Amino acid sequence: MSPRKLKSTPHTSTADTSKTVDEFMGICGHALKAEIQAIRSAVLGVDPGIAEGIKWNAPSFRTTEYFATTNLREKAGIGIILHRGAKVREVGPEGVLISDPEGLLKWLAKDRAVVVFKDMEDFVAKRVAFEGVVRQWITYV
């Protein structure tokens, strides 16, 4: 099955571009900068309709709306918060249903979760499973 092509919404803010994220990363002094770059590459590679920008002073990802934001303040490594955009959306009693056989997701609410990578080794080991989670997550945005 070929991946469905998502249409990303063109945003007019200069914060909504890869160029802005590149500039942000150029001055970023985070200890896990290489891991952040690897996460960017992985998320952007999941679907051609995924774009990036700076949201909440961190690299973030969107299709029609932002759905993931890098948590640069994560104490145990680097986190990616998966959400459903800025607008409140109805979610069934079960919440967002994502197959997560590797147990990457720590649920913060029925429609919000976080994935944490301790370091590059941890990210590399979980990359394929993470990409699968992102592929499923974007169907909810």
Q: What is the CATH number of the domain that holds 115?
A: 3.90.1150
Average pLDDT, integer, range 20-30? 94
Answer yes or no: is 37 within a domain: yes
Q: What range defines the domain where residue 120 resides?
A: 18-140
Is the pLDDT at 85 greater than 90? The verdict is no
Q: Is residue 35 domain-resident?
A: yes
Q: For 100-128, what is the mean pLDDT? A: 95
Give the closest residue to 63 by CA, choosing from 79, 82, 85.
85
Whole-angstrom distance, CA of residue 52 vs CA of residue 71: 15
Q: Is residue 62 part of a domain?
A: yes
Assigned token pair, 88: 């409140």
Domain membership flag for residue 84: yes
Which pLDDT value is given to residue 14?
64
pTM of the prediction? Answer: 0.86
Q: 54 in helix, strand or coil?
A: strand
pLDDT bin (cut points 50, 70, 90) of residue 12 is low
The Cα 49–Cα 92 span in angstroms is 26
Q: Is 11 part of a structural domain of the chain? A: no
Residue 5 lies in a domain: no
